[in-house]
Every structure is written in structure tokens, then in C-alpha cells.
């Protein structure tokens, strides 16, 4: 008796979800394809809506022309900067500062991080100061650094490196030392040498920590470079933004911001690509 009821319940209830399923599928195909395509369409719609709102707000007079330029003007300004060649020296300066600062920070952080990871004595002696300097807002010393290193490339590289250094340092340390007791015992039971433990366990483990840190380090390096340019410089996108703002060239200011955003995306792309290459090489 009991079996019968449950069986009839099952037959009675089973068509309902399947009907819902087919309906949903039909709706989906009517709306145009897979969830992936829908997301793409959504993203494009958001972009169009954003630009349209921007255009409307900028041309309606709600916001002063000294604060906001319409997208069409921004695009025109960008075109002028490219065709007149004023963009390239500025972009090149910022790229140099950011990349050099980033590389300097990464190399220093890998060396210092490894030293800390393998020598608890060094780590315990130095780490409190690292912690203090990490909580310290480093952009505050930008004017001092400019005073020390002059107006050209050096102070921006130093500032970029200073900002980018800490996330890589802490993640290098964590990646090399956060190894479980079981993992250590596994390698001991396999009679692995210290070098093999490093090669097969600690370095690959550290890479998983370091790559995400590189992304934030790159962004921080760019911030460092721009702040350095704001304080004192003769070139760079940050310098250009300041010039355009003071001379009231609103469209060119926004165009410079767009250039910065594209540069940031390019860094992100290069890092993602290199992470994939390193993973494949392993």
C-alpha cells in the first residue's frame, strides 16, 4: 500500500519539473542562446547605457563643462593626442616607471622573502619593521622621495617599487613556509633532498601565492608612478592629467584616464598570460 502511494506520487510529480525545464529551455532559446552569450549581450548593454548616460549628462548642462566632457569630445581628444604624437612620450614615461618599479619590487621581494622563509632568525629580527612600514601610508613620503631622487625617472621607480614590494614579499614568505606537516613528512618518507623539496613542493606552492600578489603589485606600481608624477615631473600620464586639468582641457583629461585604464588592463593581460605559461612549463 505504502509503496503504491509513493510510486503514484512520483509519477504525478515527475512531469512537473520536466515541463518547467522545457519551458525554461524554450525561453532561453527565444532570448538568444547560452548563458555565456547572454552575459556578453548584458555587458555590451551596460557599456552602451553607460556611454549614453554620460553623453546625456555631459550635454544637458546639469554638470559644468569644466568638470565633465561628453564621450564624443573625449574620443576626439584621444584621437588628437595620438595623431599629434603628444600621447606617446607621456605613456612611455609612465610605462617605464611602472614596469621598472614593478620588476625592482618583485626581484627584491623574492630575494628578501626567500631569506625570511629560510632564516627564522632574520625574519623575527626584521619582520616587526616590515609590519610597521606596511601599515604606513607610503604615498605620504612621495615628496621626500622626489627631493632625494630628483625629477626624472628615479623617484617614480622608487615609489612604484615601494608600493609593489609588500604584497609580493608577504606572499613569497607565506608560499614558501605554509607547508603542512604531512607534506613535509611525505617528502621525508620519499627521501627527497632539500633541493627536491624546494623544487617539487615549496616553489610550486609559493607560485600559487605569488601570482595573485603580482596582480596587486602591478596595480600598486602604477599608483606609485602616478603619485610620483603628480608630485613633480616633466612627463608621464599623471603629469599630463595635471597639465590638462589646470589648463581646463577636460576632454583630454578624461582621454588620459582612459589611456591609464587600458594600460592597467594590458598589465593584467600580460600577467595572466605569463601565469598560464609558467603553469604549463611546470
Partner 1 sequence: MSALTHSTTSLSRAADPSGIKVRGASKTFNRKGKTVHALSEVELEIEAGQFVSLIGPSGCGKSTLLKMIAGLLEPSSGTVEVDGAVVTEPLPQIGVAFQKPTLLRWRNVLENVCLPLDIEKNRDAEGESRALDLLAMMGLAGFEKHYPGELSGGMEQRVAIARSLINQPSLLLMDEPFGALDEFTREDLNDELLRVWQHEPKTVVFVTHSISEAVFLSDRVVVMSARPGRIHGIVPIELSRPRERALRNTAEFYEAIRHVRSVLDEAKGNGAAARGKGPSDGEARP
Residues at the interface with partner 1 (CB under 8 A): 180, 182-183, 185-192, 196, 200-201, 204-205, 207-208, 279, 282
- Sign for the pseudo-dihedral over CA of 200, 201, 205, 210: negative
Shortest distance, position 268 Cβ to partner 1, whole Å: 22
Q: Give the integer Cα–Cα distance in Å for 136 and 130.
A: 10
With the C-alpha atoms ordered 61, 64, 70, 73, is the resulting torsion angle positive or negative? positive
**CB crowding 248-259: b at 16 or more within 10 Å, else e:** ebbbbbbbbeeb
Q: Which is nearer to partner 1, 51 or 192 (CB)?
A: 192
Nearer to partner 1, 205 or 235 (CB): 205
Q: How far is the CB of 178 from partner 1 (least distance, A)?
A: 13
Closest to partner 1 by CB, 72 or 271:
271
Measured from the CB of residue 185, what is the shortest distance to partner 1 in angstroms? 5
Q: Which is nearer to partner 1, 84 or 182 (CB)?
A: 182
C-beta of 152 vs 275, nearer to partner 1 = 275
**Closest approach of partner 1 to the CB of residue 192, in Å:** 5
Residue 196 Cβ vs partner 1, minimum distance, rounded to whole Å? 5
- Least Å distance between CB 193 and partner 1? 8
Q: Is 123 exposed, middle or buried (0-12, 13-18, 19+ CB in 10 A)?
A: middle
Write down the residue that cell numbers 599623471 correspond to.
Answer: 238
Contact 236, 93 (CB under 8 A): yes
**Residue among 38 and 279 whose Cβ is closer to partner 1:** 279
Nearest to 177 by CA among 213, 202, 210, 194: 202
H-helix segments, the chain:
2-13, 15-31, 35-60, 71-83, 87-118, 120-135, 142-149, 153-177, 181-189, 194-197, 203-231, 237-246, 250-281
Amino acid at each position: 500500500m505504502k509503496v503504491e502511494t509513493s510510486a503514484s506520487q512520483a509519477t504525478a510529480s515527475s512531469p512537473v519539473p520536466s515541463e518547467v525545464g522545457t519551458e525554461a529551455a524554450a525561453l532561453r532559446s527565444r532570448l538568444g542562446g547560452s548563458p555565456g552569450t547572454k552575459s556578453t549581450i548584458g555587458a555590451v548593454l551596460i557599456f552602451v547605457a553607460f556611454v549614453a548616460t554620460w553623453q546625456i549628462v555631459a550635454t544637458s548642462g546639469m554638470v559644468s563643462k569644466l568638470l565633465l566632457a561628453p564621450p564624443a569630445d573625449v574620443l576626439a581628444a584621444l584621437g588628437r593626442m595620438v595623431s599629434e604624437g603628444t600621447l606617446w612620450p607621456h605613456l612611455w614615461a609612465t610605462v617605464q616607471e611602472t614596469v621598472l618599479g614593478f620588476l625592482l619590487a618583485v626581484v627584491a621581494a623574492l630575494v628578501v622573502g626567500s631569506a625570511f622563509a629560510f632564516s627564522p632568525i632574520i625574519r623575527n629580527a626584521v619582520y616587526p619593521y616590515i609590519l610597521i612600514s606596511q601599515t604606513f601610508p607610503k604615498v605620504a613620503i612621495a615628496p621626500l622621495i622626489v627631493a632625494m631622487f630628483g625629477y626624472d625617472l628615479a623617484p617614480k621607480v622608487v615609489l612604484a617599487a615601494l608600493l609593489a614590494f609588500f604584497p609580493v614579499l608577504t606572499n613569497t614568505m607565506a608560499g614558501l613556509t605554509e607547508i603542512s606537516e604531512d607534506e613535509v613528512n611525505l617528502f621525508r618518507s620519499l627521501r627527497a633532498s632539500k633541493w627536491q623539496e624546494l623544487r617539487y613542493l615549496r616553489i610550486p606552492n609559493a607560485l600559487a601565492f605569488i601570482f595573485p600578489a603580482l596582480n596587486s603589485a602591478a596595480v600598486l606600481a602604477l599608483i606609485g608612478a602616478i603619485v610620483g608624477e603628480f608630485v613633480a615631473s616633466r612627463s608621464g600620464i599623471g603629469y599630463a592629467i595635471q597639465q590638462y586639468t589646470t589648463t581646463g582641457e577636460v576632454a583630454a583629461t578624461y582621454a588620459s584616464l582612459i589611456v591609464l585604464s587600458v594600460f592597467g588592463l594590458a598589465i593584467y593581460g600580460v600577467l595572466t598570460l605569463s601565469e598560464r605559461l609558467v603553469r604549463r612549463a611546470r
